[in-house]
Chain A
Amino acid sequence: MSVSAEGAEQVGASTVGLRVDGLSKAFGGTRALHDASFAVERGQIHALVGGNGSGKSTLIKILAGVCRPDAGEVEVNGRRVAAAEVTPEWAHGAGLGFVHQDLGLFEDLTVAENLFSGLPYPRRGGRIDWAALYGAADRVLDELDVGVQASRTVADLRASTRTLIAVARALRGREDLHAGALILDEPTARLATAEVERLLEALRGYAARGQSIVYVSHRLDEVLAFASEVTVLRDGEVAARRSAASLTPRELARLVAGREVAAAPPARRAAAEEDGARPAVLEVRGLDCGVVAGCDLDVRAGEVVGLAGLVGAGRSTLLRALFGAERRERGTVRVGGRALRRGDTADAVGAGVGFVPEDRAGQGAFLELGVRENLLASQLPAYRRLWLRRGREDDATAAAIRDFGVRCPGPEAELSRLSGGNQQKIVIARWLTAGTRLLLLDEPTQGVDVGARADIYALIRAAAERGMAVLVASADADELLELCDRVVVLERGRIGAQATAGELSHEWLLSNVYGESLAEERNA
């Protein structure tokens, strides 16, 4: 408590929007949260950061009333209760609004239908009074400056607008923004930089009007630029409470990890002549697939190539088309000289291509299977001598757990029991075997904490050192700068600017990735 006292005591307790005191929760023998306390002033933007498994999710679940804590108290607008008594109804009544990472919007419904989902729609003569519904929705959107019509279908809207609609739904009934608190769990994880800025701008506006905001994020730069106070959780305890102004990103990273975060391994930055001598592992000619059009691309052995571009530029589509997850319409893809059949993932795997999809839970992981089944999913035939040799599988799994620094109870442990970062390590490690010549990664560190992120970068670099060709799609400029020998920008499905390590910088990425959209905004 003493850490934050100086800041908190100047203003009276009545100005506190949300306070949690001594929250503790254990699952079986594991301490998820221990004596966690923090307070958010009214109108303050308070960041909650921490690695995977640090207790952030548990804390949010307790506030939402979906997880019953062992001890602690919660106070919202001066209403104080034992945290164990918080129910979803209480949380809503007290004015706590939540926006989760997957926004929980109904994509095919209109903005108004989404805003009022779960509430009785206005009725007239027993029928839904659509005019009244859209009128009410337009008033809410207007009040919150969302800048969208209530009759639009959510699926047609840009990502930041969709997030703002989820925010508006969470603020429903208290658009005056004076009471309660808004709790946002990684709202920017799926947004491109320009979209992030737009969302944060709107949130800043709400805070200025008096709304307390709890903001959970892995993007530390963004946290420091956006929040005024930062609470760091580590291993279920509050490790630090600081004002954002007093921290540098590096200090914050150290607080989150609880140790010095290894600076990115010095990228190879090899001379161009040396690269020229290496054989091209991936050769793409004239590839058409959905938004991707006329794509030519080579990736050499040992080279890490980044794919940058705005949301919708076709980064994911290109990777999926290369792997055969999507059927390309035209063009050839050769890996190690061998032409890949289109739309045939098994053929790609056979040629030594690995793919780590963006959506881990939906497309990458077998959550209810064990670590072993997940790790060896793509290499089963190697463990078959007439039948699958469980002993060899277990040896290989134990070795991978050790080599890749995975924290898990053992090879049998169900993947869903691991933290997000450790799950992602397993999903990537699946391909880090001798047989893989080309690794395709789509947002490899999304939703992964700082410590695990550094580990994953090290794994990818090490694989490249051994001669693997790597193609990484990422919306995260830091990630591309840290990881890649060369970055290729996709613009509306076409290959645009390219830069090698020496020429790469934040500025280069900014002007080449966002240049076009910035120009558009200026014209608009």
Chain B
Amino acid sequence: MSTDAVVDAPSRTRSRRRAVGPIVERFGLVWALLALIAFFSLWPTTSDSFLTTDNLRTLFANEAVVAIAALGALLPFVAGQFDLTIGAIAMLSSMIVAAIVTETGVPLVAAVPIAVVACAGVGLISGSVVAYLRAPAIVISLGMATLIGGVVLLYSGSRSIIGMPAALTDFGSLTWLGVPRPVWLLLVVVLVVGFVIRYTVTGRSLLMIGSNAEAARLVGVRTRRLILLSFVLAGLFYGVAGVLLLARTGAATPGDGLGLTVGALTAVFLGATTIKPGRFNVPGTIVGVFFVAVSINGLTLAGAADWVDPVFTGAAVVVAVAASTMLAQRRSG
């Protein structure tokens, strides 16, 4: 045993030394996140409020919504399709569940699947237009998002729907084994999306389409069908995020969901600067979600005003997109 280790050692150190640059690059955002956490834990202004069970539970439970939406968006994104319907579909999902449980006798266990399937259906519509009419995803999804926001507004008359059953709000607010229940749901989504991307023919095909759609078609990948599928699956996950949002807030509020869209996009693009730099990836996306969330949470605890959130998130989007584009170019060049 020991002999093996000795023989192995030199080559291992050499390869490690050569890889120092990439490692800094790969884990830069992770270090930044850890540094932020350390900072807000030690900074006198936030030290007694940041690292508390209550604060962390709230933070994690809230961010589970953003993270699930972002992971859903990852599927069209790895295939090179920019989907902006994230927040709009999540809002729609909240509205459908709220409307069904408050206005019909249909139980919650039926309302949730109905909403999620409806959301997948919306994904089917935008996905069909993008895949089969070859329309640019970014424009189609922007149009769809606006349209959905309008329909929700039409139905709700811009009033929030309140009075959710306890079963739903409990799921949003209670913990299981000390961990907020939404985080358990997030864990499941992480595993599912991670598995799809890494271990399924579908996921690999989406990566291939994202890398070179024409080459994918020429090795027999049914590119249009897969792009459509990615939008359907994404819609489904946005729907789940929407149900969770309703469970967290207890009310469905009409809106275009732009905040959630931007939050999820920021995470997806920040994610592409880390773990696998230049590529959209699952662990990176999660790090991205919490990087933004911890920053804003800490600043808010320090008494920052309302404008800090959009300014910080907006800046993060710009920096993340610029950085991930740069990394992708460096990798290919």
Contact = CB atoms under 8 A, between A and B. Distances in A.
Contact of B215 (A346, A366, A384): A366
B219 interface: yes
A363 B218 contact: yes
B221 interface: yes
Given A346-B221, A349-B220, A378-B220, A366 B195 contact: no
Interface string A310-347: 00000000000001010000000000000000000110
Interface string B252-271: 00000000000000000000
A34 to B, nearest CB: 19
Interface in B259-314: 278-279
Contact of A373 (B199, B208, B222): B208
Contact of A388 (B199, B214, B217, B221): B199
Given A367-B332, A368-B331, A369-B207, A29 B218 contact: no
A367 B279 CA distance: 13
Contacts of A384: 200-201
A390 to B, nearest CB: 8
B205 A365 contact: no
A502 interface: no
Interface in B187-217: 195, 198-201, 204-205, 207-208, 211-212, 214-217
B12 to A, nearest CB: 15
A345 B214 CA distance: 11
Given A346-B220, A368-B331, A368-B332, A380 B212 contact: no
Interface residues of B, number: 26
Contacts of B332: 367-368, 416
B328 interface: yes
A362 interface: yes
A427 to B, nearest CB: 9
B222 A388 contact: no
Closest 6 interchain pairs by CB? Answer: A349-B220, A387-B199, A366-B211, A378-B219, A377-B219, A346-B220
A387 B328 CA distance: 28
B6 to A, nearest CB: 23
B279 A368 contact: yes
Interface in B113-135: none
B159 interface: no
A333 to B, nearest CB: 15
Given A28-B18, A368-B331, A369-B208, A388 B201 contact: yes
B278 A368 contact: yes
A348 B220 contact: yes
A209 B201 CA distance: 60
A381 interface: yes
A364 B279 contact: no
A380 B279 CA distance: 21
B168 to A, nearest CB: 33
A373 B214 CA distance: 15
Given A29-B18, A348-B220, A366-B208, 14 more contacts: A357-B215, A366-B207, A366-B215, A367-B212, A368-B279, A373-B204, A373-B208, A387-B195, A387-B199, A388-B199, A388-B204, A390-B199, A414-B331, A416-B332
Contacts of A355: 218
Contacts of A205: none
B211 A367 contact: yes
A265 interface: no
Contacts of A363: 212, 214-215, 218
Contacts of B279: 368
A381 B219 contact: no
Contacts of B208: 366, 369, 373, 377
A51 B332 CA distance: 21
A364 B207 contact: no
B218 A368 contact: no
* Chain A interface residue number, banded: 20 to 34
A414 B328 CA distance: 12
Interface of A is mostly: mixed
Interface string A370-396: 000100011011001001101000000
Interface string B311-333: 00000000000000000100110
A272 B201 CA distance: 43
A173 B127 CA distance: 52
A368 B220 contact: no
A300 interface: no
A349 B223 CA distance: 14
A378 B204 CA distance: 11
Contacts of B221: 346, 377
17 contacts: A28-B18, A29-B18, A323-B218, A349-B219, A349-B220, A350-B220, A362-B214, A364-B218, A366-B211, A366-B216, A368-B331, A368-B332, A380-B204, A384-B201, A387-B200, A388-B199, A416-B331
A381 B201 contact: yes
Contacts of A365: 212, 215
A511 B114 CA distance: 71
Interface in B216-269: 216-222
A225 B212 CA distance: 39
A25 interface: no
Contacts of B278: 368
A430 interface: yes
A368 B199 contact: no
Contacts of B205: 380
Given A377-B208, A387-B195, A357 B218 contact: yes
Contacts of B199: 387-388, 390
Contact of A368 (B201, B214, B328): B328
Contacts of B215: 357, 362-366, 377
Contacts of B220: 345-346, 348-350, 378
A355 B216 CA distance: 12
Nearest to B21: A28
Chain B CB within 10 A, most for which of A29, A384, A388: A388
Contacts of A367: 211-212, 332
A369 to B, nearest CB: 5
A348 B220 CA distance: 7
